[in-house]
Amino acid sequence: MKRRKLGKSDIEVSVLTLGCMSLGTDKEKAKNIIDFALDAGINHLDTADLYDFGLNEEFVGDAIRNKRNEVILTTKVGNHFNKESKDWFWDPSKAYIVTEVKESLRRLKTDYIDFYMLHGGTLEDPIDETIEAFEELKKEGIIRAYGISSIRPNVIKEYINKSSIDGVMTQYSLLDRRPEEEILDLLHNNKISVLARGPLAKGMLSNQAQKQIVVKGANGYLEYSFEELKAVHEELTTISPNINELSLKYVLKHPAVASAVFGASSTKQVEESTSSNVNDPLSDKLYEKLKSITKNIRYLQHR
């Protein structure tokens, strides 16, 4: 599986990333999913301290303990949580970040994090203080690079202007093309990579789309009605029986995108994506065809 450089860093991530949020709470099952992904050529795992209140990081740490140097590890911070009471609040303060990173390192059983992200963000945050925390951790060698996970264009622009981020994780798929309007080219021009999360749109752009649209899209999705989701699926099936492959290759077509981050709760779901031929890009003609059957929606809320 091909790898792409993450921003201006020396980190190279596989074009597919396993998003670990959906691994579940069965440790052995989670390990099997991770092992399957790594054996299939994926080298990049994405987790967060908040996922299952630290348990997800523990599972990831256990799974890669004996192959840490083979894995690019991403985790996130900013949700100040209480494992016992199962609640949390937003806390992008420097004090929390430099304290919480030690907890993530402990759970992940490692002494460094490859890519550390702020797990959200608003314009009301103490952004300068947040950046200072990440810069200090980078200088100390605790993290190799940092970025932000956000769908808010104005917040992303603040970090572009004020920080040395190497990547932005944002939601991007054939059904959610909002980043195309004002984010992708801007990031690419600033040598900042995109980690495209949700490329399969909750499974509605997967090989199980017919079933998932009924389950996840019954009340519509973004600006698509249930009927429109079904119509898009029908058109996609006339192009290729492998909807997974089309969807992943679509987001990977833009040069800003370093990796497509898909979630999985079974090895079968990992197999559906990793068996796709994502190394060969879509033709320009097919890329434009896929655009023509989907909507070029824009960010209205979540600025």
| Residues carrying an active site annotation | 51
Q: How far is residue 12's CA from residue 255's CA, in Å, rounded to a whole number?
A: 15
The count of other CB atoms within 10 Å of the CB of residue 141 is 9
Q: What's the Cα-to-Cα distance from 27 to each of 55, 58, 61, 274, rounded to whole Å?
A: 9, 9, 11, 22
Cross-strand bridge partners of residue 197? 171, 261
Q: What is the separation of C-alpha 156 from the centre of its chain, rounded to a whole number of angstroms?
A: 15
β-pair type (12-14, 3-5): antiparallel
Distance CA 202, CA 101 (A): 29
